[in-house]
Amino acid sequence: MSRRSMKLGAFLMAGGHHIAAWRHPDAHARAGSDIDHFIALAQIAERGTFDMIFIEDAAAIRERNPDLASQAARSTAFEPLSLLAAIAVNTSHIGLVATASTSYTEPYGLARSFAALDQLSGGRAGWNLVTSASELEAENFAASGLRPHSQRYERAEEFADAALALWDSVQQTAYLPPGEGVFADRSKLHPVHKHGRHFAVDGILESRRSPQGRPVMVQAGASEAGKDLAARTADVVFAASQTKAEAQAYYVDVKSRLATYGRDPDDLKVMPGISPIVAATEEEAKAKYRTLQDLIPDAVGVALLASYLSIQDLAAYPLDGPLPDMPPTNLIQSRQQLIVDLGKREGLSIRELARHFAGARGHWQVVGTPGQIADAMEERFLDGAADGFNVMAPLFPSGLEDFVTLVVPELRRRGLFRTEYEGKTLRTNLGAAMPTNDEAR
């Protein structure tokens, strides 16, 4: 094993990350509402000694148009924390990361829920902080509509500070063993006093401190505000990069911001998404990819692309022509720019770009043999573009099983990835520092 070990996450999404995965003959079309399916996926990832599984979330239906919603199989999903609580009791080592929004929750409630998952799992919980950029979500929660990007991140900064303070309000040895005469050492309980523009939090979290100190913090923002928030608060950042040069630029950028907050570069693990299609031969792998691509209805692919570009009438343009000029978006700004850059760089029409994007929503797609997949991952890992990867199998369960069976042994053979877990907590396996709370925050 090399001194620096690759980190791996398994990004779970019902039947698969490919938009047409549910149509494949090997797919479990009703996966979104099958708890046994998700438990099995987590156990596959744990067999492969992955650091974590990752569950994204959107508190709304994915498509406004019912005709499109009926074709995309993204209309059913479990609430992530409930799902991970069930998975926790069916696994023993793998980290459990759930997405939760700072726009539609409150710090105390979120901190309490993640602390509970952390206790239930023995210190394996992680919070993927998002600000929520969906107008459909805003319509379910905020009468005033979607907040501007800058306001969402201002709220997220304040929210993160409150949640961290709540998790740190109880020291590791605050609650005493029986026979001490008192239940807790008062000097090790630190009431939180956070009063800001968006939140007022006073009190102590009703939970023992986590075996890993506090839940691991994960962030995926690629805007300037998002990268600053990640550099200040996150242990892991998920990224989306098409080319190695883009990945290297992002890696250097976000790592360079850590010093401002008194942190070392290795305190933050950068894990870009990768969507691998692997088979014993290159031709077999390409055939798998073509089969999935042939299942994409143009209307679904174009609608998915339009939702990330923040343009409602994309289907009105000639599908075999180039993208029109994009209006400024209040949604996912970095993903819009990634799509525009990809279309220009590759000279793709709207139809071609939609079909490409439908495979992994802008993340890096790699098709090939176990050796070719490992070569591509090793190159980015060693060349300063990643500390690991968030694996986005296009089809479940076979895509994840193929990766664990075929690619993981190749990574291990090269000394790039563990053969067994280093410890019981997510923080230990990531090699992330144990946070301290010797003083009240």
Radius of gyration, CA atoms only, the chain: 22
Q: Which two tokens stand for residue 13?
A: 């999404």
Residues 6+ apart with CB under 8 A from 369: 278, 279, 280, 281, 282, 285
Contact 249, 199 (CB under 8 A): no
Q: Which DSSP symbol is given to 213?
A: B
pLDDT digits (tens, 9 = 90+) for 376-397: 999 999 999 999 999 999 999 9
Q: How confident is the model at residue 159 (pLDDT cuts 50, 70, 90)?
A: very high
Any idea of the CA torsion for 302, 305, 307, 309, to the nearest 10 degrees?
-130
pLDDT greater at residue 192 or residue 329: 192
Nearest to 234 by CA among 222, 220, 224: 220
- Determine the pLDDT at residue 35: 96
Contact 392, 53 (CB under 8 A): no
In this structure, is residue 306 part of a structural domain?
A: no
In this structure, is residue 32 part of a structural domain?
A: yes
Q: How far apart are CA 36 and CA 404, in angstroms?
A: 19
Q: Cβ–Cβ contacts within 10 Å for residue 165, how many?
A: 21
Contact 204, 169 (CB under 8 A): yes
Nearest to 13 by CA among 294, 394, 401: 394
- Determine the pLDDT at residue 137: 77
Check whether 200 has a pLDDT greater than 90.
Answer: yes
Alpha helices for 195-281 (secondary structure H): 224-233, 244-256
Check whether 440 has a pLDDT greater than 60.
Answer: no
The segment with the largest mean pLDDT, out of 23-27, 147-151, 350-354, 414-418, is: 414-418
Which of 35-44, 108-117, 142-151 shows the lowest per-residue confidence on average (mean pLDDT)?
Answer: 142-151
pLDDT digits (tens, 9 = 90+) for 52-75: 999 998 877 766 666 555 555 566
Calculate ∠ Cα 207-208-210, nearest 5°. Answer: 110
User: φ and ψ at 61, to 5 degrees?
Assistant: -65, 150
Residue keyed to tokens 């031709």: 283
Q: Which two tokens stand for residue 272?
A: 């870009």
In this structure, is residue 60 part of a structural domain?
A: yes
In this structure, is residue 311 part of a structural domain?
A: no
- Determine the pLDDT at residue 422: 97
In this structure, is residue 352 part of a structural domain?
A: no
Tell me the pLDDT of the chain averaged across its residues: 89
In this structure, is residue 403 part of a structural domain?
A: yes
Residues 6+ apart with CB under 8 A from 177: none
Task: Give the end-to-end CA distance of the chain in Å, rounded to a whole number.
Answer: 39
Contact 402, 440 (CB under 8 A): no
In this structure, is residue 94 part of a structural domain?
A: yes
Q: How many domains does the chain have?
A: 1
Q: Which two tokens stand for residue 415?
A: 């000394």
Cross-strand partners of 97: 54, 126
Got the DSSP string for 118-174? HHHTTS-EEEEEE----HHHHHHH-TT-SPPHHHHHHHHHHHHHHHHHHHTSB-TT-
Taken in order 391, 393, 394, 396, is the CA torsion positive or negative? negative
Query: Residue 328 in 3-state DSSP?
Result: coil
Q: Which two tokens stand for residue 168?
A: 């740190």
Contact 86, 39 (CB under 8 A): yes
- On the CB side of 76, CA atoms within 13 Å amount to 13
Q: Which two tokens stand for residue 10?
A: 């398994």
Residue range of the domain that includes 39: 7-276+360-430
Q: What is the CATH number of the domain that holds 251?
A: 3.20.20.30
Q: How confident is the model at residue 50 (pLDDT cuts 50, 70, 90)?
A: very high
Nearest to 39 by CA among 78, 82, 84, 8: 84
In this structure, is residue 315 part of a structural domain?
A: no
Distance of CA 278 to the CA centre of its chain: 22
Any idea of the CA torsion for 390, 395, 401, 403, to the nearest 10 degrees?
-50
Calculate ∠ Cα 251-252-255, nearest 5°. Answer: 80
Query: Residue 97 in 3-state DSSP?
Result: strand
Contact 65, 303 (CB under 8 A): yes
- The percentage of the chain sitting over the pLDDT mark of 90, rounded to a whole number, equals 63
pLDDT digits (tens, 9 = 90+) for 131-151: 876 777 777 776 566 777 788
Q: Which DSSP symbol is given to 31?
A: G
- Does the pTM surpass 0.85? The reply is yes
Q: Which two tokens stand for residue 308?
A: 């990330």
Nearest to 410 by CA among 385, 377, 361: 377
